[in-house]
Amino acid sequence: MLRHAKVATASALLLLAALSSAQTGGQARQSLAELYTKYEYMIPMRDGVKLYTAVYVAKNKPGKRPILMERTPYSAGPYGPTSFKNHRGSPALREAGYTFAYQDVRGKYMSEGEFVNVRPQLKKGQTGIDESTDTFDTVEYLVKNVPDNNGAVGLWGISYPGGYAGLGGINSHPALKAISPQAPTSDWFVGDDFHHNGALFLQDGFDFMLGFGQARPKPSPSGGVAPPRVDRGGKTAYDFFLTTGALKNFDALHMKGTVSFWKDMMDHPTYDEFWQDRSLPKNMKGVKCAVLTVGGWFDAEDLWGPLNLYSHTEKQNPGTPNTLVMGPWFHGMWAGPTGQTFGDLDFGSRTARYYQDNIEAPFFEKYLRGQNVPAPAEANVFQTGANTWRTFESWPPKGLKKETFFPGDSGVLSQTVPATEGKDVYDADATAPTPYLADPKVNRRTREYMIDDQRFLNGRKDVVGYVSDTFAKDRTFAGPIEADLWVTTTGTDGDFIVKVVDVWPSDSTVTSPRGGSMAGYEQLVRWEVMRGKFRNNLSKPQPFKPGEPTRVRFKLNDLLHTVKAGHRLKVIVQSSMFPLIDRNPNKFINIPTADDADYQKATVEILRTKRHRTKFTFGELLD
């Protein structure tokens, strides 16, 4: 593990100050055509397929300059020599005259070839192509053909392009000096986008793949075939997904066989070779370039990805500069202008600009232009609740103290083992699943649900909640959270969802950025789902025996959060968040082929006995 300097020299500080003060006012006054010369290439890959790549070279910028590239399935357009793209990311990089390149990945938009979702990596000894070889061949071409380049290429992207940035670093081309996978798609069965621990993210998967998953017969600037029209009958999302019924009905009634990857997901309902071959973190080997992995604590799509990509890169590439950034952001929020507010939360500063000016720009300046600036700290992490940036020499931080909380009678959450034994009972009704939103009339999948007020669940019979006494002092929790449930169910399968909530004081005078009072707000901080049949192994599902005490243990994604003095800690357990997550029939069955009649009600018990003790374990940061 590398130890990065945290104190800049005087000259480095002057350079950073100049970079951070660079604004886009020049771009506002000048058209992009006046600022850049655009080149369009069809770059040949080793198998003869050509990939469309647009390159923007800054005008009136002296010297040789690095190339910063994004590989994307979402279009490298606009297309044509007189149509120009505005460039995201740090304004300092634009001001410094970086060359920007955008490539349509194989089989998308204007590139030739066949597109494969999260294409598997070649295995040792295999020949052919994968996303890493396409990146290698592209870098080779760019450094030989793009005017005024300094021989150094960087690769970055957010979400799916973030996954391609990670893949590009595997067995890196010598000219690829730095990559920045941001909210990278990393494993679509374990923790990103379309599944968490085997539970299907129904609303995201259906709404996204309905359009994105359509075939593209030939290169086209429009992206391919239009999706089939779905008549939702004016229904809310909750009602539409519920009345569509069993999972198999979504293709039969709406997609009509037009989305091949939806069929792939249905055909591979366990963590089999299909999914394992598509897992990015375990393939992060042979990375010879600097890595800056970026994620958001409140990212509804890809929170698992950056945490696990960083940790696997660290383990598998000793000596490679490897940096993690986690900010208080929704998906891609760090590329925006401020990053100060999200929903009902105000973070007290322009967190996106802080990242762009103090981490992103210096990272690329150091590794692509060789500037004398310090490397970023190993871990640059925003501490939510306290609203401050922290740096650490490793992530999770060393020296965390394990703190265990136990549920007790009357919904009490305590660090003392309860004197009495008991159990808490709730309904898990697959025919009337628990909504994930307070307002069931909302049709889009919101990004704010990651921090939403959970008071809408109070009093429901399909959840149980446990709340601590008021904290007398600030307490900061870091790293992963372990949920260790002992349960019984009358079904033979079931989902288990654990939510960690920061309960604001009932007399709080804080006003949210949206104008409401934060008094009594029950802020969702972290949550996760485990599809019960995968509790011991994601590849080998096991049924529950009705009424038999069973252990369901899993980890929630990391956090760095301060529960302030006067606040309380709450843990909620439930079995559905619909239509975000598909319904578990409460029956040990292949869900993609289940019938409507298979969806049934179960009764779930959370056990609190000496022999079967439910508990929740946090790592507490003491300094």
Instruction: Name 70's bridge partners.
Output: 102
Q: Which residues on neighbouring strands pair with residue 620, listed in sequence order?
A: 401, 477
> With contact defined as beta carbons under 8 Å apart, do 465 and 614 qualify?
no
Strands (E), 453-577: 463-467, 475-489, 495-503, 522-531, 550-563, 568-574
Contact predicate 146/178, CB 8 Å: no
The backbone region for 550, taken as left when phi is positive above 0, alpha when psi lies in -120 to 50, beta otherwise, is: beta
Q: What is the largest CA-CA distance in the chain?
A: 76
H or E element in which residue 481 lies? strand 475-489
Nearest Cα to 269, choosing from 586, 534, 580, 579? 534
For 286, half-sphere exposure in the C-beta direction (CA atoms, 13 angstrom radius) is 14
Residue 587 is predicted with a pLDDT of 98
Which stretches of the chain score pLDDT less than 70? 1-29
Q: What is d(CA 341, CA 329) in angstroms, rounded to the nearest whole number?
A: 9
Pairing of strands 50-58, 36-44: antiparallel
Q: What is the pLDDT of residue 29?
A: 59
Residues 214-268 have pLDDT tens digits of: 999 999 999 888 999 999 999 999 999 999 999 999 999 999 999 999 999 999 9
Cα–Cα nearest to 339, from 516, 521, 513: 513
Q: Provide the angle, in degrees to the nearest 10, between the axes of the packed helices 202-212 and 260-267.
A: 140
Write the pLDDT tens digit of every residue in 190-221.
999 999 999 999 999 999 999 999 999 999 99
How far apart are alpha carbons 324 and 65 in whole angstroms? Answer: 26
Task: For Cα atoms 441, 442, 446, give the angle at the middle one, nearest 5 degrees.
Answer: 155
Report the amino acid identity of residue 290.
Answer: A
Phi and psi at residue 512, to the nearest 5°: -75, 160
Q: Which residue has the tokens 């929704």?
A: 330
Give me the CATH code for the 10-187+278-392 domain, please: 3.40.50.1820
Listed by start position, the domains of the chain span 10-187+278-392, 401-621
Phi-psi region of 97 (alpha: psi -120 to 50; beta: other; left: phi over 0): left
Element (H, E) at 163: helix 160-168
Backbone angles phi, psi at 499, to 5 degrees: -115, 135
Q: Which amino acid is at 26?
A: G
Give 421: exposed, middle or buried? Use CB within 10 Å, 0-12, 13-18, 19+.
middle
**What is the overall mean pLDDT for the chain?**
94
Report pLDDT for 16. 36
Q: What is the pTM of this model?
A: 0.94
Superfamily (CATH H level) for 401-621: Galactose-binding domain-like (2.60.120.260)
C-alpha–C-alpha distance, residues 64 and 150, integer Å: 5
Percent of the chain with pLDDT over 70: 95
Q: Around Cβ 282, how many Cβ atoms within 10 Å?
A: 15
Q: Is 363 exposed, middle or buried (0-12, 13-18, 19+ CB in 10 A)?
A: buried
Contact 502, 561 (CB under 8 A): yes
Q: What one-character DSSP code corresponds to residue 532?
A: G
Residue 410 CB coordination number (10 Å): 8
